[in-house]
Chains A and B, each alone.
Chain A
Amino acid sequence: MSETKKNLLPQVFEPLAIVAILGLFLIPTLTVINLSPITQENKQINVLGATSSPHSIDMEILNENDEIFVSDTLRKKRDGEYVYSAEVGPRKEEKEYSKPAFRITNRSSTRQTLVVDGYADSTSPSNFSLKIDGGWYVLRDGSKEMYKREIVLEPNATKTVYISTYSDSNILFKEVFTISISTQ
């Protein structure tokens, strides 16, 4: 009986030894492949996988050709803070001009409130507004008064923002209108 056991043991261990040898070849190979670094952007996530950055909004300029709104730019100042600027050309009285300016996306899983305000580099009596989903956000009225507006973005929502201008009198010169957008 004991002799049978003695003979069986090497037979039991041999397959295990083969597996161990295969493992000795496979493990270093897989480790080396895994140790090879990759390129990726830094993710700002906390341990629960939720975005820890409170300003996870993305803005994208639409760059559509327009006769009145030209040379528009969108600059990211810092996380959650953008500056949009457009050159507004001469235009006729009592006529409204508008153009799709940029797109805002709320990448977070929470509702985001954006604070928007704008200013012009001229003293013209032009009205400047933003139009989002049919709603108007007046940033500067005919009396040159400036207004700070709040835009609420639902989680994962994307909105296209139109810039619009109107004047009671003819505007004969170019002016630059700058909009500052930041998360609250």
Chain B
Amino acid sequence: MSKLLRRILKISIAPAVVMIAGKLLGIIIANIVYKLDFFIDNQIQGIFSIQLYYTDSTITLLVNSVSNLIMVLALAIPTLYFIVKTSIYQSAFENPRTIVKITRLNIMKWITKDDTSFLSIFIWSCFLLIASLVTIAQVIQGTCYGWVGIIVGVLALFGIWGTVKTFEVEIDKIYPREEKLYR
């Protein structure tokens, strides 16, 4: 088995778990905070046989929105952290002022080791994008608040933009741009 496949498998486990855990946690938090009564039904049709349901559509909307938001945030925070960390790491190479700022902020360990690869950022971004698409689809269906859809959409765009930027940085490492070489 190739090294790349093994790495993808290894990296994908964490965001997959975070995605499910985030959704589940969101449902639990919404039920506890708003003191809601939820019901479980056994549906024979479909892939899964268990369905969570509420008898009031406004409660369903609330729980779905809260859980979707928590799920996307749980994926977006690590993704954006990896992107920022990689950007700072790269910037520290090129710009001494970045090192000064990093020292002031006491985050030197961010640039002492490059443990975040493009592959990690790409996989986390993929999961963020999937979660965002599911949420936006539910906003269109009317089962999630519109403002949640907007927040999620913005986060997904940031994720995609960060991944593309990281990709450019990685490409520059292999094929440096001419203006960088002859500055």
Contact = CB atoms under 8 A, between A and B. Distances in A.
Interface in A69-100: none
Interface string B34-63: 000011010000111011111111011001
Contacts of A27: 16
A29 B54 contact: no
A98 to B, nearest CB: 39
B13 interface: yes
Interface string B149-163: 000000000000000
A33 interface: yes
Interface stretch (A18-26, A55-63, A125-133): A18-26
Interface in B104-160: 126-127, 130-131, 134, 138, 143
Given A35-B24, A37-B27, A39-B54, A17 B60 contact: no
Nearest to A14: B1
Contact of A40 (B9, B20, B48, B53): B53
A38 B9 contact: no
A40 B59 CA distance: 11
Contact of A38 (B13, B51, B131): B51
A91 B112 CA distance: 99
Contact of A43 (B13, B41, B60): B41
Interface in B12-43: 12-13, 15-16, 19-20, 23-24, 27, 38-39, 41
**Interface SS majority for chain A:** helix
Nearest to A20: B9
A13 B5 CA distance: 10
B19 A28 contact: yes
Contacts of B12: 21, 24-25
A28 B41 contact: no
A21 B122 CA distance: 14
A17 B131 contact: no
Contact of B13 (A13, A24, A39, A42): A24
Contact of B16 (A10, A24, A35, A37): A24
Given A14-B1, A14-B2, A43-B41, A35 B9 contact: no
B64 A34 contact: no
B52 A24 contact: no
A38 B60 contact: yes
A30 interface: yes
Given A14-B2, A17-B9, 13 more contacts: A10-B1, A17-B5, A20-B9, A29-B130, A30-B47, A32-B19, A35-B67, A37-B53, A37-B64, A38-B52, A38-B54, A39-B56, A39-B57
Please give me the 10 A-B residue pairs with the lowest Cβ-Cβ distance, nearest first. A24-B12, A28-B19, A34-B48, A39-B57, A17-B5, A39-B60, A13-B1, A28-B16, A37-B52, A32-B23
